[in-house]
Amino acid sequence: MRQSALLFPGPRAFVLVGLVGFLLSVALTAALRMGSGGTSVGFLFICTIAAVPAPDFPGVLTTFAFEPVPVFVLLAIGAGYLLVFRTVRASPQRRLASRGRLISFLSGLVLVLLTVFGPLAAYSSTFLTAHMIQHFVLITIAPPLLLAGAPLTLLLVSAGRDRRDRWLYPVLHARWFHGFTNPLVGLVLFAVIPIGWYITPAFEQSLTNVWLHYLGYALFLFAGIHYWWPVVGVNPSRWNLSHPIRVAYLFALVPIHAFLGSLFYEPSRVMFEDLQALPRYWGPSPLLDQQIAGAMMFIVGEMLGIIATLIAAVRWSSADEREGKRIDAALARKRARMAVGAPVEHGPDGPR
């Protein structure tokens, strides 16, 4: 109970800590904006997204785009997870807080940080290929790692019975929440958000609008988490997919990525004029960059979709094999009892 109290000290303490952190990140943002926007730290060049220099090799590998407010949000999420993990680790249900889950969540969070603020982020407004790699990480690779850390499961345990009943269960059991977390909604978001981002003016506007730029990252990550939630399966959900449905659900990755790949690869002109106008001293031309992005979306996206589907199919086969062995063992016990004249026990799933 004392650990839970430390984790949930009260709304005033949460507001105070969050407000102080937010104000510090805003002040740091203002300081960066008033200065040159960038500074060298050893062999690294740290700058804001608006002050990224024109791409030049090998500078593209050591340029990091840093924005304090989004960094604060991600670090706050990581700190919250560590506090929840520590609380569960000290409770009787410590087995739920395994090292594997901790490593998985922190790996996913570090991957998001590097993707959103590393060299890929610095030049995602110059090279469409860099943005496409970010796309894959934020919507396909990082979400399963984050979800494998079981953040909601650990939060429910660490909150304690009173807070679960008062604050968490009313949301998790609400009809609107069940509807919104339907896997079909996740599938639609997984397809609509990326397609809408590229075919509407949103992507091109994000090249010059910092907050829209980071909103795009958040939308991609949100869509990925929603999509992968019922697949990873270690967090509470009403929607537990059967093995056949899970295979079909994952196979939907293939046509979605194929459509996005063709969207970029097939046009014979540059789709985004702002990308064409940006100076670049190194790398592919804007049209070739667009075609590489399309080919990457098609090839890598197809591979990821097929691999995920094959893994789900193997698990389905293993589950069927285990069920077959269980039934065979039950029948063998039944025959043995009949041979010695003992009564046969019947359970909900058949003879024991």
Peptide bond into 255 cis (omega under 30): no
Digit-coded pLDDT (tens) for 69-121? 999 999 989 988 998 999 999 999 999 999 999 999 999 999 999 999 988 88
Rounded to 5 degrees, what angle do the CA atoms 339, 345, 350 make?
A: 105
Digit-coded pLDDT (tens) for 111-149? 999 999 988 888 888 889 999 999 999 999 999 999 999
In the numeric block, which tokens belong to residue 177? 């929440």
Digit-coded pLDDT (tens) for 191-208? 999 999 999 999 989 888
Q: Is the pLDDT of residue 254 over 80?
A: yes
Q: Please list the helix, strand and coil fractions of the chain in percent, rounded to the nearest 5, in that order.
A: 75, 5, 20
pLDDT category, 174, cuts 50, 70, 90? very high
- The residues, ordered by sequence, that sit 6+ positions from 93 with a Cβ below 8 Å of its Cβ are 157
- Residues 312, 316, 317, 321, Cα dihedral to 10°: 150
The per-residue pLDDT for 4 is: 45
Tally Cβ neighbours within 10 Å of residue 144. 18
Q: Is 230 exposed, middle or buried (0-12, 13-18, 19+ CB in 10 A)?
A: buried
